Structure 1
Amino acid sequence: MDLIPAPLDIRTDDDLTFLFDAESGLGGGPGTERVRHWLRATLGAATGLLLTGTGPGIELAVVPGLGSEEYRLEVTGGGVLISAGDEAGLFWGAQTLRQLLGPDAYRRAPLRRDGWAVPRVTVADAPRFGWRGVLLDVSRHFLPKADVLRYVDLLAAHKLNVLHLHLTDDQGWRIEIKRYPKLTEVGGWRERSMVGYRSGGERDNRPHGGYYTQDDLREIVAYAADRQVTVVPEIDVPGHAQAAVAAYPELGNQDVVDTGALSTWTDWGINPNVLNVEDSTIRFYENVLEEVLDIFPSTFIHLGGDECPKEQWKASAAAQNRIKELELADEDELQSWFLRHFDSWLAERGRRLIGWDEILEGGLAPGAAVSSWRGYAGGVAAAKAGHDVVMCPEQQVYLDHRQAAGPDEPIPVGWVRSLEDVYRFEPLPPALRQDPEAAAHVIGTQANLWSEFMDDARDVDYRAFPRLAAFAEVAWSRLPQLPEDRDWDGFSARMETHYRRLDALGVEYRPADGPKPWQLRPGVQGRPIEGLPPVV
């Protein structure tokens, strides 16, 4: 049936179909309301059918005995029944029904009003991982709210259920904090941006900025929740913080650098200007997080913790005094102390800290989870120590990395990660496959879209797709764990239909035979990496 991601089990009874018509209805019992609303709006727009009739149509049911996100879809001569253990399962079943209706079911207005048929099938399905995420970096290049909402729909269409919003970094602060308005007034824009990698020496000399109001973010959160997508915010500490220091210079290491002279950073890369570790800075970020928690109901709050150079702390008398006062061994333990504070602070409020795998250095906070990006090693160490892990190794699922080795690839950065490479990605490394107890701490996997080299939604589409479809299958389906055992030919064949779905959705993906002329960026220098080091 060309379903992506592939379901656990699909069976066809015969060559017959069920045909929808003007009399087809849509019904369901308690717990089905939001999915019914989505189905009526989405399929109604695409097909022109109101789904308000009294004839055979679609019936939704929450039933006991099925697990979280598990569903069963049955198409007979009497209509379509989607049953699930919870609302999320119903929604994923509805997404499968949408695929069965054909690519035109992904349009926003009908190309025809009759002939809408689905094959008589039975689908039994459930996801492999509970966290099936995508990071969208809106800090380096801001995406307007409408583009974020569109990406929520694209994630949901692929049964991906976590949107990790990277909201703050050196190059921009994108979330309104009412107590500290300068975070967006000053930190929400920069004077210019690098074009391509720094060795090219090219700048656009055009101001760049933008931010989301708190109501914008509440709207995004609510929109995502209706589509079973959880929005996890990231507020970077203690590194990647120059936009905040530019807005409030007292947050920086003033005894080392003239923080009052700093502006929102216009470069890419690792920045030496990090937060100080004074009590006032901790209080500042507690106040920020109070407002963040009021907007985002997610269990996890991402606090970054990556790429924090320690040179300023080494040179800062205040930081060194803090190390002595707390009887810490070094600057790594100082960062650990900083993050442990927020681990406890979040736990007191019923939330959990998650951070990049650098938070392991100096000791991991007791309740923290780890986003393992520098290969698998951090995730393996965290899982074996009893911490939850999201696997997102840059060598495999950083989708800002180039998709081919040819000279036409726009702003080529990182390693070549083709559609097939992503399809063969396995979130569980051998070190965990032999340790079921530790493997159970791998709560999911995530693909990351860092936006230094993507300055609008068209660029994001090109980098994300079609590879995000392969990643979705890795995250959802029960594929063979050995990459060489995966049915790449079968997936490629199913993708032929899926490209038509992406076309209907208006996704400007990378064509299999290379970029279109308007997707090229001639002369803009990237940073390709030749060869792929061992992933550990």
Structure 2
Amino acid sequence: MDLVPAPRDIRPGSVDGGPFVLGFDTRVAADAASGTSARWLRSVLGTATGLPLEPATPGAEGAITLQVAERLTALGPEAYELVADASGVLIEGGGPAGVFWGAQTLRQLLGPDAFRRAPLCEGPWTVPPVRIADAPRFAWRGMMLDVARHFMPKDGVLRYVDLLAAHKLNVLHLHLTDDQGWRIEIGRYPRLTEVGSWRARSRIGLEESPLWDERPHGGYYTQDDLREIVAYAGERHITVVPEIDIPGHSQAAIAAYPELGNTDVVETAALTPWDDWGISLNVLNVSETTLAFYENVLTEVLEIFPSEFVHIGGDECAKEQWRASPAVQRRIRELGLADEAEMQSWFIHHFDRWLADRGRRLVGWDEILEGGVAPGAVVSSWQGYAGGIAAARAGHDVVMCPQEHVYLDWRQADGLHEPIPIAHVRTLEDVYRFEPVPDSLSRTEAAHVIGVQANVWTETMDSARAVDYMVFPRLSAFAEVAWRPLPPSFERDFADFERRMAAAHYARLDALGVEYRPPSGPRPWQRRPGVRGRPNEGPPPVR
């Protein structure tokens, strides 16, 4: 029935009574645990259909009924069953999240116009007779959104929460800090946003591009903005995981508070948030004062984000300044460490313990494996599969996000019209065929792969339209990888996925206002002629 992601089991119901037809007398019934999902469903379907969809109590005839079912709890809190026939629609979940995902499926069954914000016709609005039993493969089904390189205003983030929910993705990883910008208000340190949240200009393109956007670029989220995002996502059963990047990718913070940098080798007072892309050599020093500074930052972060997981980056920390710094070298000797790699590992271990003491878990990019991974850390495996394999074999949980498969800033085709081409080509089919769990892992090791994530780095995405183009429709393919188990044949049916996209899902994206890349290639206004990227020639990496 052209659902994306496709459910595990879908069977036509009895056609004797015909479809269920929504009308002015249709009501939505829910138990106490499903009230939030019922309010969401009444809101979106009421807006799209113009029907009142009044609330009702469970057991009402001819209603759409949402409820948690104890018999499904063994399948997990996100499992659901949906049964529709002429007498009504019943959605049952293993928990409130399962009920919500079932409601998302119902919205898809009603057709693309159910995704619009005003009714285009008077109906009829029908649900075909059907029985669906469904549950996700992975507990962590995420997208990382880089709002540090190019800031996305709050309304844009909320829109992406809805787009994730429509695809049954349940983690929004917000990359809030980097060399080019600091995007989270910290009450104790106001200069982080006063100074660190904007840069004087931005390079257009990558590498040696001579083009510059001379306009200042910036923005940040107040703590109330972020609480709103967290609450909005929570109502849609999406966890927001914040990332505060340390000890590298920290030039914006150092520009705001120069004492955080390596002042014995660099005149940090002259630094500003970086206006270029790449890896800045300006990294944090390793003093107790700097550790205390970030403990204070994270204390405020934890007050905003209830997520069990807190991402601290840990990637691409340049070591040149540490090697040249007498203070850092003295610190390495005092701690009995072998080198700068162990210094970075010690830094990460410190915050792993600090977070664990507060009931949270540290997540870091796979560089946190260098010098020894912290005991409770979760590894985001981005440099291929190797980091994830090593972490899983060592008993650490892993989120698989290898760049050669799920970095959505990578170009989508070889054509000359692709905007600012980056790295190797990763087509819709390439993303659809991504398999997160390597064959080399044993069953016990594979159980440590707790999820998958697509990463959206925004150096070249300077508008919501640019983000849409790079993310969609590939995120739709990724969502099915994250949700649906690998078939017994070990081969996903891309032709069927492509058919479902053409039959209905592109129309859903159209209704949602998503400016995706069309299958035929970019539209004229989606191109960026004359802007250099960083394409890689030759064959792409293999699994």
TM more than 0.5: yes
Distance in 1 (CA, whole Å) between partners of 2:421 and 2:174 is: 24
Tell me, yes or no, if the aligned pair for 1:426 and 1:482 is still in contact at 8 Å: no
Give the aligned partner of residue 500 of structure 1: 507
Task: Describe the superposition over 1:263-316 as per-residue Cα deviations: whole angstroms up to 9, x where unpaired.
Answer: 000010011100000000000000000000000000000000000011111111
Give the aligned partner of residue 395 of structure 1: 404
Cα deviation for residue 13 of structure 1 reads 2.2
Distance in 2 (CA, whole Å) between partners of 1:534 and 1:406 is: 20
Q: Kindly report which structure 2 residues correspond to 1:130-169, keeping only aligned pairs within 5 A, or say none.
A: 130-169=139-178
Identity %: 67
Q: Aligned with 2:244: secondary structure?
A: strand
Unaligned 5+ runs, structure 1: none
Tell me, yes or no, if the aligned pair for 1:135 and 1:448 is still in contact at 8 Å: yes
Q: Kindly report which structure 2 residues correspond to 1:70-469, keeping only aligned pairs within 5 A, or say none.
A: 70-432=79-441, 435-469=442-476
Query: Which of residues 4, 22, 40 in structure 2 aligns to 1:20?
Result: 22
CA distance change for structure 1 residues 482 and 275 in 2, over 3 Å: closer, same or farther? farther
Tell me, yes or no, if the aligned pair for 2:174 and 2:243 is still in contact at 8 Å: yes
Cα deviation for residue 533 of structure 1 reads 4.3
Distance in 1 (CA, whole Å) between partners of 2:521 and 2:541 is: 28
Give the aligned partner of residue 9 of structure 1: 9
Work out whether 1:34 is the aligned partner of 2:33.
Answer: no
Cα deviation for residue 55 of structure 1 reads 5.3
Distance in 1 (CA, whole Å) between partners of 2:380 and 2:32 is: 36
Give the aligned partner of residue 527 of structure 2: 520
Cα deviation for residue 30 of structure 1 reads 1.9
Cα deviation for residue 197 of structure 1 reads 0.8
CA distance change for structure 1 residues 47 and 212 in 2, over 3 Å: closer, same or farther? same
CA distance change for structure 1 residues 482 and 168 in 2, over 3 Å: closer, same or farther? farther
Cα deviation for residue 530 of structure 1 reads 1.8
Cα deviation for residue 199 of structure 1 reads 1.2
Task: Let me know the Cα RMSD of the aligned residues.
Answer: 1.1
Tell me, yes or no, if the aligned pair for 1:402 and 1:409 is still in contact at 8 Å: yes
Distance in 2 (CA, whole Å) between partners of 1:239 and 1:385 is: 25
Distance in 1 (CA, whole Å) between partners of 2:123 and 2:346 is: 63
Task: Describe the superposition over 1:92-134 as per-residue Cα deviations: whole angstroms up to 9, x where unpaired.
Answer: 0000000000000000111123300000100000000000000
Q: What is the TM-score normalised by the length of structure 2?
A: 0.97
Tell me, yes or no, if the aligned pair for 1:14 and 1:120 is still in contact at 8 Å: yes
Give the aligned partner of residue 489 of structure 1: 495
* 2:29 counterpart letter in structure 1: G
Q: Aligned with 2:63: secondary structure?
A: strand
Tell me, yes or no, if the aligned pair for 1:24 and 1:55 is still in contact at 8 Å: no
Query: Which of residues 14, 27, 48 in structure 1 aligns to 2:50?
Result: 48
Q: Aligned with 1:416: secondary structure?
A: coil
Distance in 2 (CA, whole Å) between partners of 1:449 and 1:124 is: 31
Q: What is the TM-score normalised by the length of structure 1?
A: 0.98
Q: Aligned with 1:56: secondary structure?
A: coil
Distance in 2 (CA, whole Å) between partners of 1:371 and 1:292 is: 20
Tell me, yes or no, if the aligned pair for 1:49 and 1:113 is still in contact at 8 Å: no
Distance in 2 (CA, whole Å) between partners of 1:437 and 1:169 is: 36
* 2:13 counterpart letter in structure 1: D
Q: How many residues align?
A: 533
Distance in 1 (CA, whole Å) between partners of 2:318 and 2:146 is: 21
Distance in 1 (CA, whole Å) between partners of 2:47 and 2:486 is: 34
Work out whether 1:65 is the aligned partner of 2:75.
Answer: no
* 1:519 counterpart letter in structure 2: Q
* 2:114 counterpart letter in structure 1: A
Q: Aligned with 2:518: secondary structure?
A: coil
Unaligned 5+ runs, structure 2: none
* 2:499 counterpart letter in structure 1: A
Cα deviation for residue 201 of structure 1 reads 1.9
Tell me, yes or no, if the aligned pair for 1:28 and 1:36 is still in contact at 8 Å: yes
Q: Aligned with 2:3: secondary structure?
A: coil
